[in-house]
Amino acid sequence: MTLLAFAGVLLAREPDVGLREAGDMFRWDHQTEHLVRQRLETMDLPFSYRGNEDEVVYQIRLYLINGRRETERMLGRAQVFFPIFEHNLQQAGLPEDLKYIPVIETGLKTHLRSHAGAHGLWQMTYAAAKFVDLRVSDEVDERYDVYRSTEGAVRMLQFLYRNFEDWSLVLAAYNAGHGKVKTAIRRANCPEYRFIEKYLPSETQQYLVRYVAAAYVGKYYAAHGLEPSPVPARWRTARVLPVRQYLNLYKAAEVAGVSYETLRKLNRGYKKGYLPHTSKTANYLVLPAEGVGPLTAYLAEKNGKSIGGRQEGQVLIKYVVSPGDNMESIARLFQVEPADIRKWNYLKSDRLQAHQELSLFLPKSYLLNRA
């Protein structure tokens, strides 16, 4: 769903919320608009936008006034998904503010499908998904996997930046396609966005406007009195567990002590209700935090591995991966070897995801030194 459609939903639901009900904080007057324009001048974005500022301000008003409640729901979802986006963008060395792309694509709703056949948070078509090595089959559609689709989107953004070396062109290409931007550059005989814009599809011509508006709201919503709405508990405590073996979601729910319905909602990409066996990249299972320990032990036992790995004089601690963490940085933090972390958690690579829970077996002396 594009922001234009998203804005239409907002207008249909709440034609003038804020102007009628919420008092001064939610009024839109000349002073508010002046402040918005001042902030737009100084916003730190991956590209310098000098285009239709009036349209940007209009889109911001849709977010902040007309669609305030829907925006607060979106901001609640952002608290769950932004750490995942930030982690993957940091690992790839890309600007963190690219995390606003799914805001304008879907309003951060995981289940959406466009009329053009684009699916999931990052709205990828079948062709785009296959290009970035996402699985789309009768069993699995990784476009609906928050983690895998983010990895795929990052690969797409890397590819586009290698080709265009300009983030405004990258955003245009993400929306319209690599070929259409190349054609627009040829027609304009110039690689600058301001000169090629008129040769792009009309929706793409609005894409940067919508991106700047979404980024403004993400950075300044609190200054306008908005608060992120609470998200369902299943997402607030969600963890991600890499799994390589076949796993039925009914069995996983039973072992983890959570409902099957919860697991299905957290793992929409597994279309048949199970994780298929994989000898390559692990599947990601998303589940509430309380289920990670029991399910990890169950999977280890099924593989004939000893559960845990604690030795005498050691204590077990749990560590949840945060944006920017990697295997080396966590090993340095806890003064252990990366190989030990892999062994303790049955990992075959150093790849870590945000919200992944790690088991660490540390000497008791380490905890005393940290006390």
Q: Can you tell me whether residue 46 is helix, strand or coil? A: coil
Q: Which of 70, 86, 105, 142 is catalytic?
A: 105
Closest CA to 216 of 12, 35, 30: 35
Half-sphere exposure in the Cβ direction for 34 (13 Å, CA): 3
Clarify whether 337 is annotated catalytic: no
Backbone torsion region of residue 93, taken as left when φ is above 0, otherwise alpha when ψ lies between -120 and 50, otherwise beta: left
Residues contacting residue 114 through CB under 8 Å, at least 6 positions apart: 1, 123
Output the six-digit token pair for 100.
């606003």
CA distance 150 to 85: 6
User: Which are the catalytic amino acids?
Assistant: 105
